[in-house]
Amino acid sequence: MKALLLSLVLLSATAFATDKVKINGRLFVAEGFDDNDLVEVTVVGTLPNTCYRNPSFEIDNKDNLFEIRLFAQYFPSKEGCRNVSMAYSETINFGMMLTGDYVVNLINKHGTEVKNLQIKSATTALVDEFLYGNINGVVEEEDSREVELVGVNPVSCLVYDKMMTDVQKNMIVLRPQFKEVGPCENKATPFRIRYTVPYLENKESGVLLHVRVMNGRSYNYLYQNRL
């Protein structure tokens, strides 16, 4: 009986055996981080077919050089792999970093993408120079270039004021600024902000919207730039 159970366990393990394989991606690094921000970079890409799952990454850091390697789990299937590409996005948090110049390398299967990362000294002791909202999603309009930034602030007194934007190569940095109005209560307050994404001529499909969020964080969304 024990031998039969052991055989079943081994067969089950073989059926679900996976390989850790390298995958490709694109690296996005925003400009404008201060030494009191949570520094984040974003990697986006597509998994080749349905046998690739669970994208992940590893980071090596030596002095001012960061190297990111991408992996996925490969699950072989008796029925074969469906030729369907699955998009993925990974936001990688480096935490707070000292003022200085850094290099971030994304090591893909067929080459290395190199980006520079500059950290400036903060001009204020606050985490953010401005009040940003607690944005947690982006909703696209199908037939226009409008998007909605949606979120929930933890207090009732924050009101949307204006949007500051900065086009940086293949990404757009959005800084939706809020202001305090009236008394503050600890009350969850949802909000929506409409924004029209400018058409970036001669840019490839896939423009990253890097949205600054309260407490030094960011929210990242890959906009396809197709219309």
Per-residue pLDDT tens over the stretch 135-169: 999 999 888 999 999 999 999 999 999 999 999 88
C-alpha distances (whole Å) from 48 to each of 22, 25, 75, 168, 177 are: 11, 11, 12, 29, 39
Rounded Cα distance between 4 and 7, Å, is 5
Q: Characterize the bridge pairing of strands 39-47 and 86-95.
A: antiparallel
pLDDT (tens place) for every residue of the chain, 227 residues total: 545 444 444 444 444 557 899 999 999 999 988 888 889 999 999 999 999 999 999 999 999 999 999 999 999 888 889 888 888 999 999 999 999 999 999 999 888 999 999 999 987 655 556 789 999 999 998 889 999 999 999 999 999 999 999 998 889 999 999 999 999 999 999 999 999 999 877 766 788 999 999 888 889 999 987 65
Kindly state the tokens that stand for 87.
């998009």
The pLDDT tens digits of the residues spanning 216-225 come to 888 999 998 7
Per the prediction, the chain carries an average pLDDT of: 86
* CA distance linking residue 94 with residue 218, whole number of Å: 12
Q: What is the CA radius of gyration of the chain?
A: 21
pTM: 0.78
